[in-house]
Structure 1
Amino acid sequence: MTTPARFLCSDAARLRGDPIAGTAPYGSAWILIEYRAGWPPNGFAGIALDPGVKARVSAAARAMRARILLIRRHGRSRSDERPLWAVLRYDAGSAHTQKWGTWGDDRDLVEIVAAMDTPGEQGHPSVILVCTHGLRDTCCALRGRPVAGALSDVWPQLVWECTHVGGDRFAANVAVVPDGVYYGNLDALSAVTVVEEHLSDHIHPNHLRGYTDLTPPQQAALSAVLHHAGPSRRHDYVIEETVRDDDRWRVRVTGRLAGLSTFQVEIHARRARMHQLTCRALSPSSAVYYDVTSLHAG
């Protein structure tokens, strides 16, 4: 008897040709907690911490709409060093901030709450997060760990493995924070190229899921502009206007620098057929995708 092939959501998504543009989750703040023990399927909510501390951190995160991610270094225990925590914020003016600390006792994590009420520090390098959350989704581990290894070989101080960032079927997923840029469908080779370009402030659209300060239709519109006009820096374009008419959007994307054009992009939202979208999904579900129907300058 032939053993059925194991279902992998990222393989299925690639075969279907699932669009990647417009799939980055919204976010302008991230809480990172280095946690070296095993990561439960539900991440921070499932780890063994003092309930009062966990409640305070969770409440503060909800108030700021911050995503809490567990992190760890690829292939390293770092047992001789205190684990780290961080609060990272995106700023539309590109003055992104970070605040880092260490913890040894659960109660030390209350400092995260205080850090969320302080301005933070500018000038820190970007943090490169690679989702390797295998207990959440098999593809995140199978595709994420080789990417984390390749990136860690080049940028060992910037790269962390992390828990679920969303979009399992687009594994390997990389989130650059607090820049607020998500990439997907990466492998070890393409990830090094994408991150190298990103750190040079040169964003290509091929693996771009989107900018986390934009809505999905705006992300899709900007991706279309980058495909048409070429790669750009993170803040070279601004969304000037977004008009919705039922399942269609008209998005005006304007270049902020001399030589960059203004584009009118029309987007159509469509709901795809029902599929098993993640490796561990118990039933089929449907995703919404944002197709570009027209793009013109002016």
Structure 2
Amino acid sequence: MTAERFFCADAARARGDALPGTAPYGLVWVLVEHHAPWPANGYDGLALEPVTKSLLYEAARAVRARILLIRRHGRRPEDAGPRCWAVLWFDATGAHRQRWGTWEREEDLALAAAALGAPGDLGHPPVVLVCAHGRHDTCCALRGRPAARALAERWPGLVWECTHVGGDRFAANVLVAPDGVYYGGLDAASSVAVVEQHLAGRVHAPHLRGYTDLVPAQQAAVAAVLARYGPAGRHDYTVTGTTRSGPHWLIRVTGPPPHATAYDVEITAHRAPPHQLTCNGPATSAAMLHEVTSIRTG
């Protein structure tokens, strides 16, 4: 008898795995358009000219930037002309910066490495990245590509498929950058609704994994405030205080002026029972959960 195939996103939904507090930390992203099939380990697995590959890798590592391969939804020839690269910077003021360029020869990616030391440009719309990295995890392709198709039909200039962004079991995963907002558990319809609201300045809690400038407990606290008091802009709520005693956290989240209401969110962190968390990795792991125990007006 053939064993039933395991899909990590199906298992996560059956368990009711919590989304808040699961966004990986990050403030800088490097995007490299690549039309050929993506290796399972993304940029690291590309057979690029070694000196340039190492130059970009080391420049990214120096500023803790993440390198993601990107492509537009739909098949394209591997030699379809110049490809894009971009560097995206998060700024807590909301003045997010981007720098875009193109590359034809592999040596051209040195320009992306140099851009990591530049200030970047203002005025670009956010980039919508949908993880569709099937060689890394099956669910990222099965759930990510339909979401990418729906989003690309709605916003063709903003949407890219990308390599692994983390949290395979929450596919479809969408990262809006350089806003630094992770959404998960999406499908074609919900992804369009979520991104539409995001672009209109309303972050909703139900599909929110977290803000990438915050640690997991802070992410969970902001998501809890959004869930109770309604959607808000990306920078409307800020974390203004954090204390911790063992597994117990007290996070102060302050709302926008003129009222600037403060909310004290108590959170307890604990490990979930071990489960297989990815399609392609049979080993079990115990995910960290951040349970909100109370929200009080400060």
The TM-score normalised by the length of structure 1 is: 0.98
CA offsets per residue over residues 97-147 of structure 1, 9 Å max, x none?
000000011100001111011111000011000000000000000000000
For 2:168 and 2:86, locate their aligned partners in 1 and report how far apart those are by CA, in whole Å.
Answer: 24
For 2:109 and 2:256, locate their aligned partners in 1 and report how far apart those are by CA, in whole Å.
Answer: 40
CA offsets per residue over residues 175-221 of structure 1, 9 Å max, x none?
00000000000000000000000000110000000000000000000
Quote the offset at 1:174 in angstroms.
0.2
Matched with 2:44 is 45
For 1:167 and 1:68, locate their aligned partners in 2 and report how far apart those are by CA, in whole Å.
Answer: 16
Matched, 1:125 2:141: no
SS in 2 for 1:75: coil
Q: Which amino acid is 2:91 matched to?
A: D
Matched with 2:144 is 144
For 1:84 and 1:162, locate their aligned partners in 2 and report how far apart those are by CA, in whole Å.
Answer: 13
Matched with 1:296 is 296
SS in 2 for 1:114: helix
Q: Which amino acid is 1:147 matched to?
A: A
Quote the offset at 1:260 in angstroms.
4.8
Counterparts of 1:274-293 in structure 2 under 5 Å? 274-293=274-293
Quote the offset at 1:258 in angstroms.
2.0
For 2:75 and 2:38, locate their aligned partners in 1 and report how far apart those are by CA, in whole Å.
Answer: 15
SS in 1 for 2:134: coil
For 1:260 and 1:77, locate their aligned partners in 2 and report how far apart those are by CA, in whole Å.
Answer: 49
SS in 2 for 1:32: strand
Q: Which amino acid is 1:90 matched to?
A: F
Matched with 2:215 is 215
CA offsets per residue over residues 23-77 of structure 1, 9 Å max, x none?
0000000000000001010000001101111111111111110000000000041
Matched, 1:186 2:186: yes
Matched with 2:253 is 253
Matched with 1:176 is 176
Worse overlay, 206-215 or 278-287? 278-287
SS in 1 for 2:238: strand
Quote the offset at 1:257 in angstroms.
1.7
Q: Which amino acid is 1:67 matched to?
A: R
For 1:211 and 1:204, locate their aligned partners in 2 and report how far apart those are by CA, in whole Å.
Answer: 12
Quote the offset at 1:4 in angstroms.
2.5
Quote the offset at 1:259 in angstroms.
4.0
For 2:260 and 2:97, locate their aligned partners in 1 and report how far apart those are by CA, in whole Å.
Answer: 28
For 1:56 and 1:81, locate their aligned partners in 2 and report how far apart those are by CA, in whole Å.
Answer: 23
Worse overlay, 229-238 or 77-86? 77-86
Matched, 1:4 2:6: no
Matched with 2:53 is 54
SS in 2 for 1:226: helix
Matched, 1:63 2:57: no
Quote the offset at 1:282 in angstroms.
3.2
**Stretches (4+) displaced over 3 A:** 78-81
Quote the offset at 1:296 in angstroms.
1.0
SS in 2 for 1:204: coil
For 2:254 and 2:125, locate their aligned partners in 1 and report how far apart those are by CA, in whole Å.
Answer: 27
Quote the offset at 1:88 in angstroms.
0.4
Matched, 1:234 2:234: yes
Matched with 2:13 is 14
Matched with 2:94 is 94
Quote the offset at 1:5 in angstroms.
1.9
Quote the offset at 1:80 in angstroms.
4.2
CA offsets per residue over residues 207-266 of structure 1, 9 Å max, x none?
000000000000000000001111000111111100010011000000122245210000
SS in 2 for 1:242: strand
Q: Which amino acid is 1:179 matched to?
A: D
The TM-score normalised by the length of structure 2 is: 0.98
For 2:152 and 2:4, locate their aligned partners in 1 and report how far apart those are by CA, in whole Å.
Answer: 31
SS in 2 for 1:231: coil
Q: Are the counterparts in 1 of residues 81 and 104 from structure 2 also a CA contact under 8 Å?
A: no
SS in 2 for 1:224: helix
Quote the offset at 1:81 in angstroms.
3.6
CA offsets per residue over residues 248-296 of structure 1, 9 Å max, x none?
1000000122245210000100101111010011311111010001111
